[in-house]
């Protein structure tokens, strides 16, 4: 069964995937902290696991996040931005920096008309630095995936993959 989210034009919205299968092959430094890297209860759709914790990782670890999204816009000539929204670790939050984003503007350009599905695959690469590292889920940084469309429409999450090299 397909699962879609209604997304409003210009509204930053956290994706809420409906998870069919989870394959977890975490680095030992992460699996020694927790068997489930997902934290958060912000979603009412899908699993409720919307934040990916970077617990167990130290500065220098690298991460690749792949998203595969399908969007059906209500208007012609629309765009969809995709971003990772990071929540910093507790030490960094003490300095006043709580969140930051990495955005791919116009990650999906939809010029063929409204009311049809467009598919986008995006890769985000980043290194874990001192603002994200942490030894536990309560003190480490985390991230979620968000979208910002220029038109109202229906979003379907086809896949989210997180690859970490510790």
Which pLDDT tens digits describe the chain residue by residue (166 residues)? 467 889 999 999 998 777 666 667 778 888 888 877 777 655 444 455 678 899 999 999 999 999 999 999 999 999 999 999 999 999 999 999 999 999 999 999 999 989 899 999 999 999 999 999 999 989 999 999 999 999 999 999 888 889 999 8
| 50 neighbors 14 (Cβ within 8 angstroms) | yes
Q: What are phi and psi of 30, to 5 degrees?
A: -90, -45
| 12 neighbors 144 (Cβ within 8 angstroms) | no
């Amino acid at each position: 069964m397909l699962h879609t989210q209604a997304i409003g034009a210009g509204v930053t919205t956290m994706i809420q995937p409906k998870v069919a299968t989870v394959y977890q092959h975490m680095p030992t430094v992460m699996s020694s902290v927790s068997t489930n890297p997902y934290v958060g209860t912000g979603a009412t759709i899908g699993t409720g696991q919307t934040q990916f914790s970077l617990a167990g990782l130290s500065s220098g670890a690298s991460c690749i996040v792949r998203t595969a999204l399908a969007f059906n816009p209500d208007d012609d000539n629309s765009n969809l931005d995709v971003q990772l929204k990071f929540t910093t670790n507790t030490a960094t939050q003490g300095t006043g920096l709580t969140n930051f984003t990495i955005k791919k503007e116009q990650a999906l350009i939809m010029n063929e008309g409204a009311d049809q599905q467009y598919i986008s695959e995006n890769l985000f690469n980043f290194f874990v630095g001192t603002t994200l590292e942490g030894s536990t889920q309560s003190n480490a940084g985390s991230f979620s995936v968000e979208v910002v469309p220029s038109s109202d429409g229906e979003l379907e999450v086809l896949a989210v993959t997180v690859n970490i090299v510790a």
